[in-house]
Amino acid sequence: MGRSLSNSVINLGIRDQYADALKELGFEYEVLAEQEGDAALGNGGLARLSACQMDSLATMDYPAWGYGLRYQYGLFRQVILDGYQHEHPDYWLNFGNPWEIERVHVTYPVKFYGTVEDENFNGGKRKVWLPGEMVEAVAYDNPIPGHGTRNTITLRLWAAKPSDQIDMESYNTGDYINAVVNRQRAETISSVLYPDDRSYQGKELRLKQQYFFVSASLQDIIRRFKDSHSNFDDFPEKVALQLNDTHPSLAIAEVMRVLVDEEHLDWKRAWGIVCKIFSFTTHTVLPEGLEKVPVDLLESLLPRHLQIIYDINFDYIEELKKKIGLDYDRLSRMSIVEDGAVKSIRMANLAIVCSHTVNGVSRVHSELLKTRVFKDFYELWPHKFDYKTNGVTQRRWIVVSNPSLSALISKWLGTEAWIRDVDLLAGLQEQAANVDLHEEWRMVRKLNKMRLAEYIEAMSGIKVSVSAMFDVQIKRIHEYKRQLLNILGIIHRYDCIKNMEKSDRTKVVPRVCIIGGKAAPGYEIAKKIIKLCNAVAEKINNDPDVGDLLKLVFIPDYNVSVAELVIPGADLSQHISTAGHEASGTGNMKFLMNGCLLLATEDGSTVEIIEEIGEDNMFLFGAKMHEVPALRVKGPALKVPLQFASVVRMVRDGYFGFQDYFESLCDKLEGGNDFYLLGYDFQSYLEAQAAADKAFVDQEKWTRMSILSTAGSGRFSSDRTIEEYAEKTWGIEPCKCPF
Ligand code: TH1
């Protein structure tokens, strides 16, 4: 979520009164707002997408709830020491959290482990789960106020507390110490966010978190429904559940369990309900990125759920045989259960089978789902699949983070209505050549760059010139996102400056390269990329031959509030994943809204950005999505440019020090190991960079492109995304607050 104060006062429309009142008390609003720490309860784009969507749901008056976990430790704080990433705990609740309301009476028991037994019931048998452990889920409500409406919705986060019923056995047998220790253990369930951005390790605690979240949320939803209904007939009419990736997909088995075991509906009727309430958003491109839960783990933690999943799978496979015949390869690919060395449950298959709609997060992502990742399912149920291109909220990403641009836009459009109706931004198009607008636009951009330059100096001691081009890449560190390509490009630029006649240096367009992002603690290669960035920065920034022509800054501890500062100050931003790897990407949209030009590959949502603003207004390069598989097959036979070999050699030969440490990084780029095609794309990357330099020199052209970027960003508002979900998937209408 990031910070709440600035967002809340703006959405409530009380920003100025609030600042005046603070002044009377002797405080500066801006200074105070900066004191707030981030709520960092997610890893990256996946969770931030939900945060943007909550803002849109509230603003557009939709009746919606968000659910999540109230981790005591959010995503680790990244500390850079000698250029290496260290992870420090983010104990964000240290000084209390004024934005949450503890609902002491909204608590639910959540059960784990134990056995399943048969019980006589109505002349037949039924299953009874006898759990072995119980914890209590306590609700903490985080209000999400909409903009320009009285509607405020709730993000309900669950914290785990020991249950009073826990381990009575130990108390009774006098094992007092163990009983207390066990009580404490309950709290660990919601204690820490897993920092791995899409790698599944089959850890028990992670599965426990997932079920804890799912069970508490469903009890809450069902309790609310039952308050005004005496049976489940209207449940699908009143409830729509959106699975945000597979992480909550245990909810499917849980709804079946509650309806069948606790509410005593027959299986068929329960199944009919399940099939109408769930829809599934998948954010993944790679089949190996799909979550699989080892059967052994599930059996011990949630024995009844495993049975239910087996039963769902049995019925489904029987149906499938009728449709596709005895094609065993295909049947086994499509099964929810994977037989293999480690028998496991394919959570995506479970989600697809049980959801009425499956959507990707950009158009090309959806194409990949249909033609590769979930091809078998698409052929069976083409009607289930669609896409909803991600979006971001202009409230946080323009109004809150870039107040001067926001004021400028309102002035030139003659209205503030774009804050709720973002398509109005397109009105800037007709002014894109207006010299007066150009002047004001440049002034705003310069102020934002000054703010960023001050931050950089305060944080790293590096002085940067605001007349240089600020070139930014901020996102999680991943090989596929290719921060390494960026760094190698910077080394090449450095090498060119070093080897050039002194007199030619005046022709170089000065650059400040800014990179930021966290690496998963166990992701060695990503950590080496951070170290390389810092080692290269050390060399370049201290080289008197280079001076202001090139600076490299690694911004530590990238998070939402750092993004709010950096994005408005960026001239150019990089979204350079190997084509076919980024499901959508949402950073590109935030930069676009702020009038930053994009240097990008044709991947994820960038493809749709190109359609909106035109390829002339951005710098594109690289292999296309459909070319990538064939290029990979060629492997070692692929020609790579000499410049590429030579920059890799510089790293290998220890030009930036730490020769041994960087060896494995270099190995990944040479000898047919260059899976992400850095070598293949290097030449066109450098050409795109040169085109950006050329455009930057022509400030009039650059400013026009910048205005057109903001003007074309309307489609990438989460308001549009949410409207699509509301209309096409959930079938809901705005529900205006009556008072
Ligand atoms: C991201 C995708 O990588 C990104 O392209 C997309 O814009 C974003 O989701 C929102 O749709 C993902 N993050 C994760 C994190 C985990 C597992 C899968 C994904 S996909 C833990």
pLDDT band at 125 (very low <50, low <70, confident <90, very high): confident
First to last CA, the chain: 27
**β-bridge partners, 91:** 73
- 10 Å CB burial of residue 245 (0-12, 13-18, 19+) is buried
| pLDDT attached to residue 387 | 97
| pLDDT attached to residue 169 | 65
Alpha carbon distance 547, 549 (integer Å): 6
- Is 608 a pocket residue for ligand 1 (Cβ < 6 Å)? no
Q: Which residues of 543-570 are buried (b: 16+ CB within 10 A; e: fewer)?
A: eeebeebbbbbbbbbbbbbbbbbbbbbb
| pLDDT attached to residue 198 | 72
CA angle 664, 670, 671 (to 5 degrees): 115
The edge-to-edge listing of strands for the beta sheet with 292-294 is: 292-294, 344-346, 337-338
Alpha carbon distance 589, 38 (integer Å): 21
To the nearest whole number, what is the mean pLDDT of the chain? 96
Alpha carbon distance 495, 649 (integer Å): 12
Q: Which tens digits make up the pLDDT trace of 134-160?
A: 999 999 999 999 999 999 999 999 999
pLDDT band at 280 (very low <50, low <70, confident <90, very high): very high
| pLDDT attached to residue 380 | 97
SS (H, E, C) 442-508: HHHHHHHHHHHHHHHHHHHCCCCCCCCEEEEEECCCCCCCCHHHHHHHHHHHHHHHHHCCHHHHHHC
Q: Smallest Cα–Cα separation from 465: which of 451, 450, 455?
A: 450
- Is 605 a pocket residue for ligand 1 (Cβ < 6 Å)? no
Which of 54-58, 167-171, 648-652 has the weakest average pLDDT?
Answer: 167-171
Alpha carbon distance 159, 188 (integer Å): 10
* CATH of the domain spanning 410-716: 3.40.50.2000
Give the position, in ligand 1's atom list, of the atom nearest the Cα of 583: 5
What number is the average pLDDT over the span 433-440?
A: 98
- Is 368 a pocket residue for ligand 1 (Cβ < 6 Å)? no
From the CA of 283, how far away is ligand 1's center (Å)?
5
Whether pLDDT at 625 is above 70: yes
Helices (H) and strands (E) in the chain, counts: 30, 21
At residue 77, the 3 state secondary structure works out as strand
From the CA of 287, how far away is ligand 1's center (Å)?
13
Whether pLDDT at 545 is above 80: yes
Closest C-alpha residue for ligand 1 atom 17: 198
| pLDDT attached to residue 739 | 75
Residues in the chain, how many? 739
- Whether 155 contacts 139, CB under 8 Å: no
Distance of CA 487 to the CA centre of its chain: 23
Extract long-range pairs of 599-603: CB within 8 Å, 24+ residues apart.
599/471, 599/572, 599/573, 599/574, 599/575, 599/688, 599/689, 599/692, 600/574, 600/575, 600/576, 601/575, 601/576, 601/577, 601/681, 603/364, 603/575, 603/577, 603/578, 603/579
| pLDDT attached to residue 167 | 59
Neighbours of 221 (CB within 10 A): 19
Whether pLDDT at 301 is above 80: yes
| pLDDT attached to residue 636 | 81
From the CA of 244, how far away is ligand 1's center (Å)?
10
| pLDDT attached to residue 202 | 76
| Residue 25, both tokens | 């008390």
Alpha carbon distance 401, 399 (integer Å): 6
Residue, of 177 and 655, whose pLDDT is higher: 655
**β-bridge partners, 87:** 78
Alpha carbon distance 608, 614 (integer Å): 10
What number is the average pLDDT over the span 280-301?
A: 93
- Is 291 a pocket residue for ligand 1 (Cβ < 6 Å)? no
| pLDDT attached to residue 197 | 73
Alpha carbon distance 558, 514 (integer Å): 11
- Whether 642 contacts 628, CB under 8 Å: no
Closest C-alpha residue for ligand 1 atom 20: 283
Q: Smallest Cα–Cα separation from 550: which of 536, 531, 570, 563?
A: 536
- Whether 486 contacts 472, CB under 8 Å: no
Closest C-alpha residue for ligand 1 atom 13: 46
| pLDDT attached to residue 180 | 82
- Is 390 a pocket residue for ligand 1 (Cβ < 6 Å)? yes
Neighbours of 376 (CB within 10 A): 18
Alpha helices in 200-266 (DSSP H): 204-227, 235-238, 250-257
Alpha carbon distance 591, 597 (integer Å): 7
Q: What is the Rg, in whole angstroms, of the alpha carbon atoms belonging to the chain? A: 27
The edge-to-edge listing of strands for the beta sheet with 101-112 is: 65-69, 152-162, 133-145, 101-112
Residue position matching structure tokens 């309102």: 410
What number is the average pLDDT over the span 6-21?
A: 97
From the CA of 585, how far away is ligand 1's center (Å)?
8
- Is 585 a pocket residue for ligand 1 (Cβ < 6 Å)? yes
pLDDT above 90 as % of the chain: 92
Type of residue numbered 318: E
Closest C-alpha residue for ligand 1 atom 16: 198
Pocket test for ligand 1, best of 43, 46, 288, 584 (most atoms within 8 A of CB): 46
From the CA of 738, how far away is ligand 1's center (Å)?
37
- Whether 356 contacts 574, CB under 8 Å: no
SS (H, E, C) 555-596: ECCCCHHHHHHHHHHCCEEEECCCCCCCCCCCHHHHHHHCCC
- Is 283 a pocket residue for ligand 1 (Cβ < 6 Å)? yes
Q: Which tens digits make up the pLDDT trace of 652-664?
A: 999 999 999 999 9
To 10 degrees, the CA torsion angle through 354, 245, 602, 508? 180
Active-site residue set: 283, 475-476, 481, 586, 590
Q: Which fold has domain 43-390+723-730?
A: Rossmann fold (3.40.50)
Type of residue numbered 70: R
| pLDDT attached to residue 737 | 80
Q: Smallest Cα–Cα separation from 654: which of 670, 640, 665?
A: 665
User: Cβ contacts of residue 103 below 8 Å, gap of 6+?
Assistant: 138, 139, 140, 141
- Is 604 a pocket residue for ligand 1 (Cβ < 6 Å)? yes
| pLDDT attached to residue 170 | 67
Classify strands 597-600 and 572-575 as parallel, antiparallel or unpaired.
parallel
Fold match between 43-390+723-730 and 410-716? yes
Type of residue numbered 358: V
The DSSP call for residue 41 is -
Q: Which tens digits make up the pLDDT trace of 22-36?
A: 999 999 999 999 999
Angle in degrees, 0-180, between the axes of helices 435-460 and 699-711, rounded to the nearest 10: 90
From the CA of 185, how far away is ligand 1's center (Å)?
30
| pLDDT attached to residue 735 | 94
Q: What is the largest CA-CA distance in the chain?
A: 96
| pLDDT attached to residue 326 | 96
Q: Please state the domain extents for the chain.
A: 1-36, 43-390+723-730, 410-716
Helical (H) or strand (E) element with 67: strand 65-69
What number is the average pLDDT over the span 341-354?
A: 97
To 10 degrees, the CA torsion angle through 341, 346, 349, 355? 160
From the CA of 156, how far away is ligand 1's center (Å)?
22
- Is 361 a pocket residue for ligand 1 (Cβ < 6 Å)? yes
Whether pLDDT at 323 is above 80: yes
Alpha carbon distance 357, 385 (integer Å): 6
pLDDT above 70 as % of the chain: 99
Tell which phi-psi region holds residue 239, choosing left (phi > 0), alpha (psi between -120 and 50) or beta: beta
